[in-house]
Amino acid sequence: MQRKGRILLGKGKKGRFRAFAIDLSGLKNLASIVRMRGVKQPMFFAPHLLYHSPLFWYNSPWCFYHSARQILMKRLFRTKVFLIVALILLCLLLVLTLYADETATVIDVMDGDTLTIEYNNKKEAINLIGIDAPESVMNRKAEVDSRNTGESLLTITSKGIDAKRFVERIVNKGDIVFLAFDVQVKDQEGKLQGYVYLSDGRLLNEEIVRAGYARVTVSPPNVRFKERFMDALKEARTYRRGLWRSP
């Protein structure tokens, strides 16, 4: 191996020179052109081009420069990702603040369109406005639905159980949800009725309809998201989801 300037060269295959190490004290020569046999274009040894060159600088001080640069770039990338995620969460929280009026804690899923929640330090049942899922148990409403649709009680309750299971997959006990109300906060029976937003910003009422587990009901004056629900229903029917699945 011979020393040429501040760059240590050694003979490789076919007598071509290869750079095995670069002396950090030779910074004056790094910007100079080094012509090597078998290389058509000259090499520029500069810090910003060094790691792009085909030269091998194992066990060289520049190896530490390259490693430090990689570590710095990774840390900068992670910082950017963290800031982007934080910004997205902040925007999501702002949207929820604009649309939602109150927060509540989920206690249980009663059926495909009703939740039991802890709201204002009280246990309450809340009906999801604008949607109607089949009953999961045999009751008076299930009997009415059976007469109106011509389906058996067993068929209706089976669909209701499927709807309940779908809601249980996306809403768990102890989850914090955001409530939004329409013109009428309670129904004729004094039960809460509203829109439930999940922690990720999705509207639960809409998600149940989109999955095909509930029909859309229009109950004026509570028609705040009527168009959104109708679009979700159209999508569920088009792709034959849930209740619209082919027998």
Query: Is residue 38, in this structure, part of any structural domain at all?
Result: yes
Cα separations in angstroms, 29 against 10, 24, 33, 128, 180: 18, 10, 8, 75, 70
Query: Ramachandran region of residue 134, left (φ > 0), alpha (ψ -120 to 50) or beta?
Result: beta
Query: Is residue 94, in this structure, part of any structural domain at all?
Result: no
Query: Is residue 78, in this structure, part of any structural domain at all?
Result: no
Q: Is the peptide bond before 247 cis (omega within 30 degrees of 0)?
A: no
Tokens of 72: 């710095």
Q: Which residue range is the domain that position 60 belongs to?
A: 2-66
d(CA 224, CA 193): 13
Q: How many CA atoms lie within 13 A of 166 on its CB side?
A: 26
d(CA 126, CA 185): 10
At 214, phi and psi to the nearest 5?
-155, 155
Question: Total domain count for the chain?
Answer: 2
97-113: burial string, b at 16+ Cβ within 10 Å, e else: eeebeeebebbebbbbb
Identify whether residues 62 and 107 lie together within a single domain.
Answer: no
Q: pTM surpassing 0.75?
A: no
Tokens of 47: 């810090």
- Kindly report the CATH number assigned to the domain that includes residue 146: 2.40.50.90
d(CA 177, CA 234): 26
Identify whether residues 165 and 218 lie together within a single domain.
Answer: yes
Query: What are the start-end ranges of the H helices in the chain?
Result: 47-50, 61-99, 140-149, 153-170, 204-210, 226-238
At 14, phi and psi to the nearest 5?
55, 30
Query: Is residue 71, in this structure, part of any structural domain at all?
Result: no
- Output the tens digit of pLDDT for each of the chain's 247 residues: 444 444 444 444 444 444 434 444 444 444 343 444 444 444 444 444 444 444 444 444 444 455 566 777 777 778 888 888 888 877 766 655 555 568 999 999 999 999 999 998 999 999 999 999 999 999 999 999 999 989 999 999 999 999 999 999 999 999 999 999 999 999 888 899 999 999 898 999 999 999 999 999 998 999 999 999 999 999 999 999 999 987 6
Last residue of a domain, one of 44, 66, 88: 66
